[in-house]
A and B are shown apart, each in its own frame.
Chain A
């Protein structure tokens, strides 16, 4: 047998799978049906805190109120329990990376600088071990993002239930862009300031050209619609950019440094793209400008180091709150893969350092839903919305709180993951010590 890359890959994947099935990877089946959650404290997010029952039918929240009944419903007693809308993480690599140091398990970072035709959804692995680990924490919906280059590709919102990417798809895509920056990439970046500025300028030029070419390409395409004799060469890059340049598809612009944020705001104003700023680690420095530009922000991680040695130690914690107070629409993301489950803690730190609990909760529920145009479907507990929610025994931003049951699109999720199954197996290991 010729050992080609492909066969090697196959063997490798087979090995991984074999290993996977050896351990207790199977977490059980989700079930769909009618569920009646009784006597809960319901944090609707949209309409305050309500005491009563919540009815799930056909994957939707069918009713919220006192003393509800439903024929054939599975009743869950929620006395002394709380119901929250499922948390939404608007920036992750979940599903795209399995083991970050094993390059062949990484699907987030394709070669090349400009690749808008790439779709993260294609590479989302529904069997990623991190998915059950994440959803049992109450994070029900995440944006899976491609990485790398100037235009990494299209991010896709997924619900953390389902056996195919299409099944998981939650109805939102956005183009990503890494905004050019002359900042050094960490201490190992040995490029001179001049070289970094040159690289930045080159990228700006690339963007300008991309926008001009896309406009021309779109014009030719329109002309072709009425005159089939017009010829147009295959150009997937420009094809994919058309909705972005037209302001139809949202553009998620990753930008952190304050100067770069201001440059991005200027560029957004000029190009009139439908933009959201992501990352925005130094948003606190220019919060008023962001607010004035009315460009929403998805920031995170909150739990992280300041961007400059001279910065106050708590700037990353306080960043979201400072922006929100200035009037910026702020969602919080984890920017993580295997620990997207930390999302509520990122919100917790933001809450403690000035944002307040209510705003922080919104920043991982309703605000990301609205940012992505899904405010009528996700992000709060309201009749008619998708049944993405969870039952817990306290404040879900607190580490002490247990998440007891999660529903995603009305599916009652098995509350198992590799982590909990290993706990079950090894808390009292049997056989124990060999004697």
Chain B
């Protein structure tokens, strides 16, 4: 009964909480359309009706009431997706326990973050708003759409996107809870144990729940196991309801987590950063794990000293679904440029490079049927560039989310803040880029902390 009412509650809330998000209709005319899944279409139109792509082709009719955008000489691509971001968040790390599977970044979305607008100005339409990397098992993350302009945090949520959770290996959890807290997770051995213990306890919890479900029909003295949100969340991972996105660097720890997942029957796994992913690319491909990497960041800490900017290329060539992420309020603004670096380091084709910031992150987030390419029936999330987006000279012109223009370079004003300080005008800060980082909220303030 209890379980039943809970479910009912969840169902009710999901429908109740999905806010009415704004959808629009737009006719983008005569651009070079980079579909990602169906090649490049010259002088083509993309029509979005009520937030959904209704047609792609030449000389299409403008639907009634649609806004017309002339993209002559411009490049039209699917909105960029960042599989690892901390923008639009009021909190990143609940750094008080090595396991915090129950917390959700979706509860602390910040729709007023001007970083959202700045990401839009880089062609980004969706991000994976992740928990930080302080804990071996961090919190659940939220896939959001950059609907800048709303004051309601719930409006950002990409309705229907699968649940994801942040895990972390290596130096960060070792430092926070091992060095900082004196707990198990001081070493990579201890971190493995944290996972095994957490999953084993969750398994026990699920078993106890099942036993209760069986017993209660015949036995009025049956008592449900005490509700535990942490174990509920871990149990949902075991059931395959949550995709793991794991902060990782070294090859050995990547292999370790794959082994743990195999032992517990967990299949949905994406590695984040995964700087030494290239060393275990065949194993990643065999497991079916995704890899979301930096284009060229390395050497900012010891566990990324033995890495290579060719990581994305090696992973791609080995059949690993790979994306390029930002993990930064700055880099999110030029992911198209970051993707372009895979052409310098590994000579990926244009389409391979574009996939790294569109369809592949969509696959990693489980939203590839909705976004990540320009196809009929997909969401009207589009970025328009002045030149080919992989060119260093390309300037984003317009970014559209659900058919609504959220960035237009022609209407760009200086001040895009939604909640300016009412008491004083904006002052400059030095070292501005400390925001939006993986280790935010842990008290650690090192230069690079991804």
Binding site for B on A (CB under 8 A): 23, 98-102, 129-130, 181, 183-189, 256-258, 282, 303-314, 337-339, 341-342, 345, 348-349, 351-353, 357, 397-402, 418-420, 422-423, 426-427, 429, 432-433
Are B426 and A426 in contact, with the CB atoms below 8 A? no
Residues from chain B with Cβ under 8 Å of A342 in the complex: 296
Are B313 and A402 in contact, with the CB atoms below 8 A? no
Are B298 and A338 in contact, with the CB atoms below 8 A? yes
| With contact pairs A129-B305, A429-B279, A433-B282 given, residues A307 and B434 touching in the complex (Cβ less than 8 Å) | no
Residues from chain A with Cβ under 8 Å of B329 in the complex: 305
| 4 extra A-B contacts, CB within 8 A, seeds A181-B430, A400-B391 | A101-B448, A308-B427, A313-B412, A399-B390
Are A349 and B299 in contact, with the CB atoms below 8 A? no
Does B300 lie at the interface of the complex (its beta carbon under 8 Å from any beta carbon of A)? yes
Q: Please give the distance in Å from B101's CB to the nearest CB on chain A.
A: 27
Bound form: Cα–Cα A189–B333 in Å:
25
Are B296 and A402 in contact, with the CB atoms below 8 A? no
Are A313 and B302 in contact, with the CB atoms below 8 A? no
Q: How many of chain B's residues touch chain A, expressed as a range?
A: 35 or more
**Which one of A183, A400, A432 lies within 8 Å of B390 (CB-CB)?**
A400
| With contact pairs A100-B447, A423-B314, A426-B279 given, residues A183 and B430 touching in the complex (Cβ less than 8 Å) | yes
Bound form: Cα–Cα A12–B281 in Å:
31
Chain A interface helix/strand/loop/mixed: loop
Does B190 lie at the interface of the complex (its beta carbon under 8 Å from any beta carbon of A)? no
Are A314 and B343 in contact, with the CB atoms below 8 A? no
**Which one of A101, A305, A422 lies within 8 Å of B330 (CB-CB)?**
A305
| With contact pairs A187-B434, A282-B428 given, residues A401 and B299 touching in the complex (Cβ less than 8 Å) | no
Bound form: Cα–Cα A432–B305 in Å:
23
Does B213 lie at the interface of the complex (its beta carbon under 8 Å from any beta carbon of A)? no
Are A353 and B308 in contact, with the CB atoms below 8 A? no
What string of 1s and 0s marks CB contacts (under 8 Å) between B406-447 and chain A? 000000111111001000011111111111000000000111
Residues from chain B with Cβ under 8 Å of A345 in the complex: 337, 392
Residues from chain B with Cβ under 8 Å of A420 in the complex: 308, 310
Does B37 lie at the interface of the complex (its beta carbon under 8 Å from any beta carbon of A)? no
Residues from chain A with Cβ under 8 Å of B118 in the complex: 305-306, 313
Residues from chain B with Cβ under 8 Å of A418 in the complex: 306, 308
Residues from chain B with Cβ under 8 Å of A352 in the complex: 392-395
Does B309 lie at the interface of the complex (its beta carbon under 8 Å from any beta carbon of A)? yes
Q: Please give the distance in Å from B225's CB to the nearest CB on chain A.
A: 41
Are A313 and B117 in contact, with the CB atoms below 8 A? yes
**Which one of B171, B301, B340, B429 lies within 8 Å of A183 (CB-CB)?**
B429
- Using CB atoms, name the residue of chain A closest to B331: A303
Q: Please give the distance in Å from B340's CB to the nearest CB on chain A.
A: 4
Are A186 and B308 in contact, with the CB atoms below 8 A? no
Does B165 lie at the interface of the complex (its beta carbon under 8 Å from any beta carbon of A)? no
- Using CB atoms, name the residue of chain B closest to A422: B308
Are A339 and B393 in contact, with the CB atoms below 8 A? no
Does B334 lie at the interface of the complex (its beta carbon under 8 Å from any beta carbon of A)? yes
- Using CB atoms, name the residue of chain B closest to A347: B392
Does B278 lie at the interface of the complex (its beta carbon under 8 Å from any beta carbon of A)? yes
- Using CB atoms, name the residue of chain A closest to B298: A338
Segment of B45-53, B178-186, B344-352 engaged in the interface with chain A:
B344-352
Binding site for A on B (CB under 8 A): 114, 117-118, 121, 171, 278-279, 281-283, 286, 296-302, 305-310, 313-314, 317, 329-330, 333-334, 337, 340-341, 343-347, 390-395, 412-417, 420, 425-435, 445-449
Q: Please give the distance in Å from A342's CB to the nearest CB on chain B.
A: 7
Are A426 and B281 in contact, with the CB atoms below 8 A? yes
What are 11 A-B pairs with beta-carbon distances under 8 A? Answer: A100-B446, A130-B299, A310-B420, A312-B413, A397-B392, A398-B340, A399-B341, A420-B310, A422-B278, A423-B308, A423-B346
Are A186 and B282 in contact, with the CB atoms below 8 A? no
Are A353 and B395 in contact, with the CB atoms below 8 A? yes
**Which one of A187, A256, A311, A401 lies within 8 Å of B414 (CB-CB)?**
A311
Bound form: Cα–Cα A100–B286 in Å:
34
**Which one of B310, B347, B426 lies within 8 Å of A308 (CB-CB)?**
B426
- Using CB atoms, name the residue of chain A closest to B433: A305
**Which one of A130, A189, A309, A339 lies within 8 Å of B426 (CB-CB)?**
A309
Residues from chain B with Cβ under 8 Å of A308 in the complex: 426-429
| With contact pairs A188-B445, A418-B308, A420-B310 given, residues A429 and B121 touching in the complex (Cβ less than 8 Å) | no
Residues from chain B with Cβ under 8 Å of A429 in the complex: 279, 281-282
Residues from chain B with Cβ under 8 Å of A397 in the complex: 392-393
- Using CB atoms, name the residue of chain A closest to B309: A419
Are A426 and B341 in contact, with the CB atoms below 8 A? no
Are A432 and B121 in contact, with the CB atoms below 8 A? no
Are B428 and A183 in contact, with the CB atoms below 8 A? yes
| With contact pairs A99-B301, A345-B392 given, residues A427 and B317 touching in the complex (Cβ less than 8 Å) | yes
Bound form: Cα–Cα A314–B344 in Å:
25
Are B300 and A100 in contact, with the CB atoms below 8 A? yes
Are A402 and B344 in contact, with the CB atoms below 8 A? yes
- Using CB atoms, name the residue of chain A closest to B300: A100
Residues from chain A with Cβ under 8 Å of B305 in the complex: 98-99, 129
Bound form: Cα–Cα A341–B298 in Å:
12
Residues from chain B with Cβ under 8 Å of A348 in the complex: 392-393
Residues from chain A with Cβ under 8 Å of B302 in the complex: 99, 101-102
| With contact pairs A348-B392, A433-B283 given, residues A419 and B308 touching in the complex (Cβ less than 8 Å) | yes
Bound form: Cα–Cα A23–B301 in Å:
17
Residues from chain A with Cβ under 8 Å of B415 in the complex: 310-311
Residues from chain A with Cβ under 8 Å of B307 in the complex: 419, 422
Bound form: Cα–Cα A384–B289 in Å:
55
Residues from chain B with Cβ under 8 Å of A181 in the complex: 430
Residues from chain B with Cβ under 8 Å of A130 in the complex: 299
Residues from chain A with Cβ under 8 Å of B425 in the complex: 310
Are A99 and B432 in contact, with the CB atoms below 8 A? no
Q: Please give the distance in Å from B417's CB to the nearest CB on chain A.
A: 6
Bound form: Cα–Cα A181–B431 in Å:
13
Q: Please give the distance in Å from B448's CB to the nearest CB on chain A.
A: 6
Are B330 and A303 in contact, with the CB atoms below 8 A? yes
Q: Please give the distance in Å from B134's CB to the nearest CB on chain A.
A: 15
Q: Please give the distance in Å from B439's CB to the nearest CB on chain A.
A: 10
Are B333 and A313 in contact, with the CB atoms below 8 A? yes
- Using CB atoms, name the residue of chain A closest to B420: A310
Residues from chain B with Cβ under 8 Å of A400 in the complex: 340, 343-344, 390-391
Are A398 and B391 in contact, with the CB atoms below 8 A? yes
- Using CB atoms, name the residue of chain A closest to B413: A312
Taking each of B347, B432, B446, which has the highest tally of chain A beta carbons within 10 Å of its own beta carbon?
A: B432
Bound form: Cα–Cα A174–B220 in Å:
85
Are A314 and B121 in contact, with the CB atoms below 8 A? yes
Taking each of B302, B308, B395, which has the highest tally of chain A beta carbons within 10 Å of its own beta carbon?
A: B308
